[in-house]
Structures are given as structure tokens and as C-alpha cells.
Structure 1
């Protein structure tokens, strides 16, 4: 089993890279998907969030009010740490269960937005970092996520710097060009890392 970590700053294009790697045959373990799953209604994760942050972060239907929680933790590093202390262990447990179920010859790609921030780079045979300039990512968040420039820059500031992420990379995948250029580079990286042909080969 090959273990590959995938990360990148917000709006870097990491989700597209992850989807492409899954198409190429990787077993994808998506920390964002798992992070949503472990705080669904009825879970111990949601109960712990309610206990820590109060009813203000719970919607009328009993689900997590993500915008309310997001506004709270992005403005307060201590609150963000408390949230991470609840969610990260649950995500790691769910990830471990998925990996255990994967075939022995699988290439497992773990898509972890905060891989560098949580010091996990040494767990992997290789670490892929999807990289784009801060200004490029701010523009994408403003165009595609309807964020203000101030909000977009605050999100970037809450994560590791580009230099910190890239220093942890085995391979940096730049994403300043077109979608097709990005996918072509992902195909090349897949071939280099696994010796397996890309989807066309």
C-alpha cells in the first residue's frame, strides 16, 4: 500500500486534483467529507461542539450551523483550536477505518486541508501540495464563493503559509493556469509516483 498525502491552501484547486487522482485509481480519503460526517446530527462530534460552543452554532433542524461556527472560529484562534481538538481525532479515526478496508496494493490518497498545520507530513510515502499565489486564491474566493477580499485573506491567514506547505512537499503541483494544464500535471505526477499509466495510457 502506498500512502500519499494531498494538501493545499484554500482555493488552490486541491479538490479537482483529488477527484482526478480518484479517477486514476487512487483510494481517496477526503478529510473534509469525513469532517462533515463526524458532526452530523446524532453524532458524539456534534454533541461535543454543542457543549463547547453552545446552541448558537446549532440550526433549528438540529444540524450544525456552519456559517455561525465558521464566523466564530475564524475570528478566534483559541476557539479554532477547541474545534480542532474535537473534530481532528474523530476524522483520524474515520480515516483509519477507510484505509484498513482498502486493498493491500492500493494507492491511498489522504486529502487533508490542514496536513502541514497538524504535522502529519511524516506519515506518508509522498506529500503532494497544490499551490497557487495568494492573490490568485483571493480572486477565486471572491469570484466563486462570493467572499469579500477581507474574508478571503482572513481564511488564507488562518492556514499555513505557502512556504511552510511547499517545504513539506515531495511534489508541488502549481495551479495558476487552466484546468486542463492542472489535470495534465496530475496525470504526470501519478505516473511518476506509481509507475501506473494515466487515464489515457
Structure 2
């Protein structure tokens, strides 16, 4: 089985790309979905996360609010590192379980936004990076999450620069154009890897 890591900086089009791969019948797991599930349902993780922010209001409707947590961690590198330390361990475990469950498939994909930041390259046989221009990503992030330009830039600046990630990737998908062009590139990668 070919273990594929799909990554890209924030608002590069990972979720849309995940769905294109899924349309080919390829199983995909998303680190974002894992984190969402952990923060909603895992009592142990909820407790650990709550302990990082003892005085902060990070709940909404009795659930941990990702938006409130984001507002805090993107203004404090120290708190962000503490949060990532808790979550990365859990995410790695879930991805390993996912690959184990799919070991009889030709391939399986894990979509991991912080793949390089968390130094997870060795978990994968192939890494696909989705590249999009900074201005396009900034607009997408502001529109999608209703963030101010200043806060959106803060989130983008917290990630490793794209230029450092490109040489570490096996395939690069350019997502500055339309959906058809994105689909065409993904189709070419699937053909190139001979995974269907």
C-alpha cells in the first residue's frame, strides 16, 4: 500500500482536493476532522486542553470552541505549542490506525495541514503539496472564517513557509486557477502513481 500525505498551507484547497481523491474511491482521513472529533468527544483530550487555558473562556454551548481557542493560540506561540503537543500525539495514533485498517488497499491518504511542522514526513511514502498564492489564500481564509485581515495573516505566518515545503514534496498541485485545473492535476498524479 502507498501511504500518501496530503498537505498544504491554510486555505490552499486541501478539503476540496480530499473530496476529489475520494471521488476516485480512495480512502482519505483528515487531521482537521480528527482534531474536531477529539475536541468534541474525547474526555481525556478535553481535560488536557482545558488545563492549558485555566482562566480563558474556551467553551460555547458546553463544547470546546475551536474559534475561541484559535483566537488565543495564534496570539501566543507558547500556548500553541502546548496545544499542538497534546493533539499531534493523538492525530498520529489515529492516522496509524487508519493506515492499518486500509493495509489491503492500493493506497490511502492522510490529509495533514501541519505535516512538515510536526516532522511527520517519515510516516508517508509519497507527499503531495497543494500550493496556492498567499493573496488567494488570505482572501479565502478571510471569507471562509470571517477573520480580519490581521488575524488571518497571523494564522498564515504561524505556518512554515511554502518555499521550504516544496522541495520536500513528491508532487505539487497548483491551486490558483479553477476546479477543472485542480481535478486535472489530481488525475495526473493518480495516473502517475498507478494507484487505481
Q: Tell me the TM-score normalised to structure 1 length.
A: 0.91
Residues 157-192 of structure 1, C-alpha deviation per residue, up to 9 Å, x if partnerless?
010101112121101100110011111111111111
From the superposition, tell whether residues 37 and 122 of structure 1 become closer, same or farther in structure 2 (CA, over 3 Å): same
Residues 64-106 of structure 1, C-alpha deviation per residue, up to 9 Å, x if partnerless?
0222211110001110000011111111112222221114133
From the superposition, tell whether residues 137 and 123 of structure 1 become closer, same or farther in structure 2 (CA, over 3 Å): same
From the superposition, tell whether residues 84 and 57 of structure 1 become closer, same or farther in structure 2 (CA, over 3 Å): farther
The answer for unaligned runs of 5 or more in structure 1 is 197-201
Contact 1:27 1:106 in 2 (8 A): no
Residue 50 (structure 1) shift: 0.9
The answer for unaligned runs of 5 or more in structure 2 is none
Contact 2:52 2:79 in 1 (8 A): no
Contact 1:7 1:114 in 2 (8 A): yes
Residue of structure 2 in register with 1:199 after alignment: none
Residue of structure 1 in register with 2:129 after alignment: 129
* CA RMSD across the alignment: 1.6
Q: Which moved more, 1:55-64 or 1:66-75?
A: 55-64
Residue of structure 1 in register with 2:50 after alignment: 50
Indicate yes or no: 2:16 matched with 1:16. yes
From the superposition, tell whether residues 174 and 28 of structure 1 become closer, same or farther in structure 2 (CA, over 3 Å): same
Paired with 1:43 and 1:106, the residues of 2 have a C-alpha distance of: 35
The count of aligned residue pairs is 196
Contact 2:3 2:99 in 1 (8 A): no
Contact 1:2 1:125 in 2 (8 A): yes
Residue of structure 2 in register with 1:77 after alignment: 77
Q: Tell me the TM-score normalised to structure 2 length.
A: 0.93
Paired with 2:195 and 2:29, the residues of 1 have a C-alpha distance of: 21
Runs of 4+ in 1 over 3 A off after TM superposition: none
Paired with 2:73 and 2:180, the residues of 1 have a C-alpha distance of: 35
Residue of structure 2 in register with 1:100 after alignment: 100
Residue of structure 1 in register with 2:187 after alignment: 187
Paired with 2:18 and 2:145, the residues of 1 have a C-alpha distance of: 19
Paired with 1:23 and 1:182, the residues of 2 have a C-alpha distance of: 13
Residue 60 (structure 1) shift: 5.1
Paired with 2:41 and 2:76, the residues of 1 have a C-alpha distance of: 25
